[in-house]
Amino acid sequence: MRVERNFTVRKTIIDSLRVERFPVKTFSITRLVCCPRKTYFRLSGIEVEYDEETILTFSRGKAHHEILEVYESKEIEKWKDGIRGDIDMIGERVTEIYTTTIGLKRDWHPNHILSKFPMKVLQLMAYLYMTGTTEGDLMVFYLMGDYKRPIKPELEVYTIFSNVIETEVTWDMLLDKKRVIEQALKDGIPPNEKGEKYECQNCSYDYLCKEFEKYTIKLGEK
């Protein structure tokens, strides 16, 4: 008996995972809560060649989502003001699922998720506005638990209690972002506004962003 690594089958499987799920030109909540430049480049039709590690990471998240979507009402598509929302599921409340390799800290106060997972909280707040509700659940699947051996995954659910004003403020902020990106698309110039620094890590458009910044610096020197 002998064993060989089969690179052909491996490539076939990874290539099949590259399929884009949604239309490129769509404004969605997930694209509006992230870096506006990234969304600009994406909606400009600039194709990205994701590396294999990124593709497998996306696939892992999708697989866990499907397992954790236990409620009957799931994968709900909502539209408002030309923006698409893709709600993971609705049980007692609107529920957003997030899988992460970040370690679970036992001494966390629930309010820490506001700073630890800001984009997911913002996404959930937007869904609350779209559904006309003020309470939602953020379900976090900690793949590595607290990293203490033996490694065991952990599941935590944080209920966010909001109010109408907070959800309206969130939505207005996303609408402002949408207008900025739409104007940038008309002008053909990336927006000046950027996302958080951590979003730059492993961003497929990082090279374009850096080129744009070099260009604007040169213009400023003239």
What's the pLDDT tens digit per position in 202-213?
788 888 888 887
DSSP 46-104: ------HHHHHHHHHHHHHHHHH--SSEEEEEEEETTEEEEEEEESSSEEEEEEE-SPP
pLDDT in tens, 124-160: 999 999 999 999 999 999 999 999 999 999 999 999 9
Q: Provide the whole-model pTM.
A: 0.89
pLDDT in tens, 151-165: 999 999 999 999 999
- Residue closest to 128 by CA, chosen among 115, 119, 137: 137
Mean pLDDT of the chain: 89
pLDDT in tens, 102-117: 898 877 787 888 889 9
The CATH architecture assigned to 16-221 reads Alpha-Beta Complex (3.90)
**What pLDDT, on the 0 to 100 scale, is given for residue 210?**
84
Range 2-28 average pLDDT:
82
Q: In DSSP terms, which residues pair with 78 in a beta bridge? A: 85
pLDDT in tens, 63-92: 888 899 999 999 999 999 999 999 999 999
Q: For residues 153 and 156, what is the distance between their CA atoms, to the nearest angstrom?
A: 10
Phi/psi zone of residue 16: left (φ > 0), alpha (ψ -120 to 50 degrees), beta? alpha
